[in-house]
Amino acid sequence: MRNRAAKIILTVVLAVFALIYLYPLMLVIINSMKSFSEIMADVISLPKKLTFDNYVKAFQIMEYPHLFLNTLIVTVIGVTGVVLISSMAGYKLSRTKTKYSWLIFIVCIAPMMIPFHSFMIALVKIAKNLHLINSIYGLGVIYWGLGAPLALFMYHGFAKTVPKELDECAIIDGCSPFRTFFSIIFPLLTPVTVSTIVINAMWMWNDFLLPLLMLSGEQKQKTLQIAAYSFFGQYKVEWHFAMSGVMLTVIPAIIFYIALQKYIIKGMVAGAVKG
Amino acid sequence: MVRSKKLRLAFGVEFLSFTLPALIVILLFVEIPFIMSIAYSFTRWNGLDKVPKFIGLENYKELLTNDKVMMQSFVFTFIFAVLFVVAVNIVALALAVMLDSEIKGRNLFRAAFYIPNIISLIVIGYIWRFIFSKGFESLYNLTHAGIFQLSWLGDSKIAFFSVLIVSVWQAAGFYMVIYIAGLQTIPKDITEAAYIDGAGGLKRFFTVTLPLIMPSVTVCVFYSLSNAFKIFDIIFSLTFGGPGTATTSIALDIYKTAFNDFRFGYGSAKSVVLFLMILVVTLIQLSIFKSKEVEA
């Protein structure tokens, strides 16, 4: 009896706290549907009528479909590259026990100790020389180098648990090394692949500083986060457009999260604990 | 003999075709730029000159003796890091302990507290700029509570706490999830044994639960610490380091030095210092915390 009462109290406390916790986000949703004068008069009250005019306007100003596609391209290029590159290298390095492979492994995972801000200045210079700047494709490629160390580390650790006999059987049956990897080993690495996709997709979609440094050019070459930044610069006082702009930037991530919630939480935990 | 040479060659080609792509992109986009940054830190360079001018340790000298903003950003970042690590871990652990019990809708609660973590930091900053200005204005009109009338972004002392609150609010869900995963590894019979032995809730937590989830604590403190030292996005959109330079973090200072003042050599020197600081602090933290872990 005492236990049940305690549980109910705990639930109520948590519910109240959760409501307070999410109240700022609720205010954003409410105000994204209000007119400018309504926001100026009162932020807390509900909108007088349900309208998505602000969304339509923000959608146009931001050139939303275009920027959405840009961000998606960057994320897809980045994530695919990181998964491919790191799974191949992580697997091969865990299978070879020479001093070279040990050295390469150390070189590959050392960047986990280097904060991005410590090399961003020179990275901009290198990207310029390689003509990767002002291009969403170039940005996606740069993410390969930034995402690979942690992913490689995780693949390396996990590939050790895959029996070596599998490789040998496949080779004896006449598989090429690449075929062995892609049709036999890679499917067995799925847990790490899921973590890698989740961690990198959330990061690349939401990242701000690298795109800011790399995409200084015209609107056509921007990501959603950069657009949100310049959007706020322009429409600082026009809160109603700003709030619907925020919502438009956030909604894809929320949908991604709700759809894959189970994997996201598992993937994040695995990445944090192993990293 | 010839055959084995051929085999070794084939093996080498195969090995390289698997590992070289990763090695190349990591060297090209992280390690070479990092080494270049160390080299730039000994130069004066405005980004336009073809060749940076070598000036020895001048940048480091200036940084240590003659840069008030840098010193201020150091102090800000250190105090912020300490308070952030403590606050975010306490909030996350408290949430995790509450959500580890078998209550209705706990998955919904977990999702609710995790949501701020999936929104980009830059947008988080803008959301809160709106809350601190317009939102608090309306809440003051409603409640007349003095707390809503404070100048949350305009006063340099209060702005520090604004940045802190927003950062904790954004990150707590992430650490909560790691703590929940840690709590789930504790065998139920151990906590039950403590319960039967008459240990109360708090005592049970500090003497049984906490020592058993020390690995999670190590991970969370490590992550929150290194993230706190790298804080950038939230400040960029919430205060842009202001008022004045009150909330300028080291990372933001590096950004401003390099890309607003176009002092790339000097900015590189600062970035080398940031690297060394994070390295030393996290190594100390790991060695302290690792020694406190116990097994069930």
pLDDT in tens, A131-159: 999 899 999 999 999 999 999 999 999 99
> Which residues of chain A from 40 to 99 reach within 8 Å of chain B, CB to CB?
42-44, 81, 84-86, 88-93, 96
B-chain residues within 8 Å CB-CB of A107?
A: 23, 26-27, 31
User: Which contiguous run of DSSP H or E holds residue B179?
Assistant: helix B156-183
Residue B1 — very low, low, confident or very high, per pLDDT cuts 50/70/90?
very low
Instruction: Tell me the nearest-neighbour CA distance from B126 into chain A, angstroms.
Output: 8
Contact B278 A115 (CB under 8 A): yes
A149 touches chain B (CB under 8 A): yes
Q: Report the pLDDT value the prediction gives residue A270, as an integer from 0 to 100.
A: 77
pTM for the whole structure: 0.91
Instruction: Tell me the nearest-neighbour CA distance from A142 into chain B, angstroms.
Output: 6
Mean pLDDT of A44-65: 84
> Considering only alpha carbons, which residue of chain B is nearest residue A102?
B19
Instruction: Give dist(CA A57, CA A241) in Å, integer.
Output: 7
Q: What is the ipTM of this complex?
A: 0.89
In chain B, the domains with their CATH numbers are: 2-40 (no CATH), 68-290 (1.10.3720.10)
A225 touches chain B (CB under 8 A): yes
Picking from B104, B110, B251, the nearest residue to A11 by CB comes out as B104
Residues A134 and A216 sit within 8 Å (Cβ to Cβ)? yes
**Which amino acid is located at B266 in the chain?**
Y
Chosen from A19, A62, A117, A258 to mutate, greatest number of chain B CBs within 10 A: A117
pLDDT, chain A, mean:
88
> Considering only alpha carbons, which residue of chain A is nearest residue B254?
A117
Picking from A13, A89, A250, the nearest residue to B22 by CB comes out as A89
Mean pLDDT of B66-86: 93
**pLDDT at residue B196 above 90?**
no
Residue A1 — very low, low, confident or very high, per pLDDT cuts 50/70/90?
very low
Q: Report the pLDDT value the prediction gives residue B18, as an integer from 0 to 100.
A: 94
Tokens 């409410």, located at residue: A30
Tell me if residue B243 falls in helix, strand or coil. coil
DSSP β-bridge partners for residue B43: B54
In chain A, the domains with their CATH numbers are: 61-162+192-274 (1.10.3720.10)
Q: What are phi and psi of B54, to 5 degrees?
A: -70, 125
B-chain residues within 8 Å CB-CB of A205?
A: 120
Q: What's the distance, CA A126 to chain centroid?
A: 24
Contact B119 A206 (CB under 8 A): yes
Picking from A114, A177, A253, the nearest residue to B30 by CB comes out as A114
Mean pLDDT of A10-31: 91
**Which amino acid is located at A252 in the chain?**
P
User: What single DSSP character describes residue B133?
Assistant: I
- Which residues, 6 or more positions from A264, have their beta carbon under 8 angstroms from its beta carbon? A198, A202, A256, A257, B118
Q: What are phi and psi of A175, to 5 degrees?
A: -80, 145
Q: Report the pLDDT value the prediction gives residue A77, as an integer from 0 to 100.
A: 97
Instruction: Tell me the nearest-neighbour CA distance from B243 into chain A, angstroms.
Output: 17
Q: Report the pLDDT value the prediction gives residue B154, as an integer from 0 to 100.
A: 85
pLDDT in tens, A69-82: 999 999 999 999 99
Beta-carbon pairs below 8 A across chains A and B: 247
Chosen from A121, A153, A202, A258 to mutate, greatest number of chain B CBs within 10 A: A121
Q: Report the pLDDT value the prediction gives residue B10, as an integer from 0 to 100.
A: 82
Mean pLDDT of B169-182: 93
A118 touches chain B (CB under 8 A): yes
Residue B7 — very low, low, confident or very high, per pLDDT cuts 50/70/90?
confident
**pLDDT at residue A112 above 60?**
yes
Residue B144 — very low, low, confident or very high, per pLDDT cuts 50/70/90?
confident
Residue B11 — very low, low, confident or very high, per pLDDT cuts 50/70/90?
confident
